[in-house]
Structures are given as C-alpha cells and as structure tokens.
Amino acid sequence: MKRPLFRCCSSLPYALIAITLSFAHVLKAQDEPSTPAAAKLIVIPPDINGLKTIIAGPEAIRPIRVALYEGPGSGDGGVINVEASAHQIEGATVTRLTAAEIGTVNLSNRFDVVVFSGGSGSAQAKAIGEAGRANIRDFVKNGGGYVGICAGAYLACAGYDWGLGILDACTVSSKWRRGKAFLDIELTPAGRDLFGPVEGPFKVRYANGPVIKPFNRDDIPDYAPVSIFRTETAMNDTPKGIQVGSPAQAIGTFGKGRVFISSPHPENTPGLEYMIPRALLWSAAADNHATTL
C-alpha cells in the first residue's frame, strides 16, 4: 500500500463557496426517497468544515470517461452535483445515460466508471431492469469502475435481490429513514491512503444513506471501510446505536473492477469537493495514489 502524499489545509476557494451556496435549491430531488420529510430543503452552511479544503485535489494519470445514470430514481440535484465533481478532473468526460441505455450500451468500450447518485436505489434498480443490472455487473467484472452515492450505495449491495450484488454488504436494519443531518466521519488508514492524511473527524451531509455490514457472500471479496461514522441520526423509529462505528464509505473489488460507495453526500459538502473526484479516479484505476485491496 502506497503512502499518502497529501496534507491539505488550504482555504476553500471562493468559487467553491459560491458553488456550495447554490446547491441548496437542488437538494430536494437528490435525497432517498420521495417522502414529505425528504421534501424539505437543507441549507448547507459554507463553513461546515471551517472554510477549509479537507480533501486535497487528485492527481490523475490519464483522463477518465464517466457514465452517469440519469433517470427514474436519480434526483436532478445529485446528477448535477456529481457531474460538477467529475469535471474537476482534468480531461474527464461525463455522459449521462438513460435507464434504457444502461442496459444496451457497451459500457466497456466507452467508459471507465459508472456512477449512480442519490435518489432511490430500488427505483433505480427497477428502471434499469435486469438487463441494466447485468450490464453493469459485466462492466465491473471486466475491469470497469463503479461509484455509488447514497441511493447508488444501496444499489451496489448484495443484500437486496434487486441490487447489483457487486459489494459484499447489506444494511444493518431494514428501517432506512434515519433522517438528514450533518454527521462526523473519520478516515480509516485505507481512507487516508486514498484521500490523503486527514486526521480526526470532519462533517459531511447525510440523508438516509445505508448503514452497512458484511453480507458474507463467498463469491465477492470483503469490502474495506475508508471512513467511519463518528456520530449518528436515528429519526422515524430507526434503531439507535447502529450507525456510530459503521462504514460511511467503503471500497471493494468485483472481478477485475473496483467499487466505491458513499452513504453520505460529500459531493456537495463544503470542504469535501475533491472526495468524489478521487473516488472516481480510484475506481477507474487512474490515480497515482490509488489504494489497492
């Protein structure tokens, strides 16, 4: 495992602060799922992480080609935010794919990584159908990358019969409506190798993302947590005490490919703007400092 080379303490650029402030109007469509509680907007304080860039910018060894799902189960806000994140990688291209295209396009010929953002994981699975799920599994098995955020993290898990089954994980509880909050997470040693030597906890936006545990399937390698929840939210009669200490983000392999999932939303959390770009590069095996499992 390579030693991390970054130590980040620079101030958040004013342009990124402006972008962050503009996110508030798109959060409604991003969260999993569509409920009256989820319809409330959250205003993200631009100083939530002290106006610091917590995660340093990535170093790409080559441009990457990103396929971004846009269709039923994906909120407009999540798609917009992830696309903006990907464009922070020099030379990256982003192509939005419909549910039908996910099942018909030869992903391996055109893309390095496929992304499913926030929304509803089960709705995403239903929309792309078995043809789409099989196409993604084949893509990752043959060396492609997968990045799933919130709903996309649910979708990756092997614990659902509608899931992709590319991450050996399931949810700790079937009660998923834990609520929205700014939670503390902390990088693991594997996370510091991937994201840089950030010590101590920092804030991230959370909105009903999965709380996972191993599913223990023999045919899928174990995942490695790259960050851990240090605080929790437990609204709507969801179980308390299960989130703290559980993975907030994890990486795994499936066949020749790489999988990254994030339960919370770093893509529009001030100070974490470079977290998803680094995850994209790792998943595409295009980062000089990529973690290996």
Query: What pLDDT score does 184 carry?
Result: 99
Identify the burial level of 237 via C-beta atoms within 10 angstroms of its C-beta, where 0-12 means exposed, 13-18 middle and 19 or more buried: exposed
Report how far apart, in Å, the C-alpha atoms of 21 and of each of 15, 134, 171, 264 are.
Answer: 10, 38, 32, 18
pLDDT at 59: 87
Domains in the chain, CATH or no CATH each: 14-283 (3.40.50.880)
Separation of alpha carbons 22 and 151, rounded Å: 22
Q: Tell me the C-alpha distance between 110 and 92, whole Å.
A: 13
DSSP string, 64-126: -EEEEE-STTB-HHHHHHHHHHHTTSTT-EEEEE-HHHHHHS-HHHH-SEEEE-SB-HHHHHH
Closest CA to 66 of 271, 260, 292, 273: 260
Bridge partners (DSSP) listed for residue 212 = 171
- Provide the pLDDT for residue 291: 63
Cα angle value 19/116/220 (rounded, 5°): 135
User: What is the chain's pLDDT, residue by residue, as a tens digit (293 residues)?
Assistant: 333 332 233 333 333 433 433 333 334 334 444 333 344 456 789 999 999 999 999 888 999 999 999 999 998 899 999 999 999 999 999 999 999 999 999 999 999 999 999 999 999 999 999 999 999 999 999 999 999 999 999 999 999 999 999 999 999 999 999 999 999 999 999 999 999 999 999 999 999 999 999 999 999 999 999 999 999 999 999 999 999 999 999 999 999 999 999 999 999 999 999 999 999 999 999 987 656 66
What is the pTM assigned to this prediction?
0.87
Place of tokens 């971004």: 68
